[in-house]
Amino acid sequence: MKNTWLFPIAFCDAAEPWQLGFQDAATPMMQGIIDLHHDIFFFLLIILIFVSWMLVRALWHFHYKRNPIPERIVHGTTIEILWTILPSIILMFIAIPSFALLYSMDEVVDPAVTIKAIGHQWYWTYEYSDYNSSDEESLTFDSYMITEDELELGSLRLLEVDHRVIVPAKTHLRLIITSADVLHSWAVPSLGVKCDAVPGRLNQTSIFIKRKGVYYGQCSELCGTNHAFMPIVVEAVSLDDYVSWVSNELD
């Protein structure tokens, strides 16, 4: 919940029944994805209106009752040039922002915190490797889905976990993702992250969460019979709260 001078705003950071649009963006990457979607949708609407107008106009004017003897036009040089150049220009307007967004998503900024996510059948293991003094003393925990009969009032069914991923807001984060058994996918829509967890391989992505909140996601790779029961919950807190949490976990 965010309070403004006019009215409070409740962000949508989890899936809702009959939801059609995106969840509210919590990272610059997700905001870029939403903006690109809206830009492309503008071009799609223009093309849809133009093609529909041409189709209706052709059906109306070239009906056999209105035009029993139609013209036989084999080539139209001008229109052929136009329908070759105009789509190229439209694709250029779409390609430039999409390439910029794609390259920015692959860029890994010097992170302040590194978290390793390991997919298992069917839960996630998280390791805060920055604080590991040895293999025996490490900040590592497993995150399991809370079953329906153990849910508290207000918790989200099939989305809540027993151990959330605690991260500081407004901080550059690096997420290293891998798997211990089969293919998984670490995906949180509000953060604009969807990265495959591949056995024997490390994938990485950058996250910069702009606001505090709780963000829900799920494994988006078909990983077995319990694929739908390994959710992801990321809680972004202030830097002071994050330091306190790390201190308590290491004690």
Please provide the DSSP assignment of 214-231 as one string.
EEEEEE-S--STTGGG-E
Candidate ranges 76-90, 127-141, 189-203; pick with highest mean pLDDT: 189-203
pLDDT digits (tens, 9 = 90+) for 30-81: 999 999 999 899 889 998 999 999 899 888 877 777 777 766 766 778 888 8
Strand partners, 193: 188
- The pLDDT score that the predictor gives to residue 139 is 86
- The pLDDT score that the predictor gives to residue 197 is 94
All residues at 6 or more sequence positions from 191 whose CB lies less than 8 Å from its CB, including other chains? 26, 27, 29, 30, 207, 209, 215, 217, 234
- The pLDDT score that the predictor gives to residue 10 is 57
Mapping DSSP to helix (H, G, I), strand (E, B) and coil, where does residue 143 land?
strand
* Residue 116 and residue 178 in contact, taking contact as beta carbons nearer than 8 Å: yes
Residue 157 has pLDDT above 70, yes or no: yes
Exposure pattern of 213-246 as b/e (b: 16+ CB <10 Å)?
bbbbbbbbbebeeebeebbbbbbbbeeeebeebb
The CATH number of domain 28-106 is 3.40.50.10490: no
List helix spans (H) across the chain.
Answer: 28-61, 77-106, 239-250
> What's the CATH number for 113-250?
2.60.40.420
Domain locations along the chain: 28-106, 113-250
Global pTM value: 0.81
Q: Do domains 28-106 and 113-250 have the same CATH topology?
A: no
* Residue 232 and residue 250 in contact, taking contact as beta carbons nearer than 8 Å: no
What is the C-alpha to C-alpha distance for residues 177 and 194, in angstroms, rounded to an integer?
10
Residue 2 has pLDDT above 60, yes or no: no
Angle, vertex CA 168, rays to CA 164 and CA 171, nearest 5? 135
Indicate the DSSP class of residue 65: T
